[in-house]
């Protein structure tokens, strides 16, 4: 996979969430339909702090449509940290990082290995 496809409406919602939670991070799981990320699922009982986000993954329902994750970085870097890479390894698929100032240009997509891939926005 060299490109991830995301619905424009979902991307705009994710950017809005990042702005609303700032200066804290937020995190969620991405649902895919027909090869396009369409929805975000926020796990129950999350903790969103200034340097991390976590939740009880055992509270997640089984959902075969979850194919990726998303989280924000309150700083300007969208590069995955060591903690991010560890998290990526537990949830295969695609991982989006939204960096400050939470604009479309500040979003990066990665594989579980940390390799950056291209993001395509679809209407």
Q: Which residue from 76, 66, 68 is spatially nearest to 99, judged by alpha carbons?
A: 76
8 A C-beta contact, residue 48 and residue 26:
yes
Angle at 95 (CA atoms; ends 89, 98), nearest 5 degrees? 135
Told to judge if 25 belongs to the known catalytic residues of this protein, a careful annotator would answer: yes
Q: Is 64 exposed, middle or buried (0-12, 13-18, 19+ CB in 10 A)?
A: exposed
Q: Which residue in the list 9, 12, 20, 25 is annotated as catalytic?
A: 25
- What is the rounded CA–CA span in Å between residue 9 and residue 39? 9
User: Which residues are designated catalytic?
Assistant: 25
């Amino acid at each position: 996979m060299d490109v991830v496809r995301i619905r424009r409406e979902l991307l705009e919602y994710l950017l809005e969430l990042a702005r609303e939670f700032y200066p804290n991070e937020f995190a969620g799981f991405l649902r895919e339909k027909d090869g396009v990320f369409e929805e975000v699922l926020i796990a129950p009982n999350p903790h969103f702090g200034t340097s991390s986000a976590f939740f009880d993954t055992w509270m997640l329902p089984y959902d075969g449509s979850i194919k990726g994750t998303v989280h924000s970085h309150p700083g300007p870097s969208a590069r995955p940290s060591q903690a991010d890479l560890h998290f990526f390894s537990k949830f295969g698929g695609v991982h989006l990082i939204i960096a400050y100032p939470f604009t479309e240009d500040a979003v990066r997509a990665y594989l579980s290995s940390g390799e950056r891939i291209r993001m395509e926005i679809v209407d």
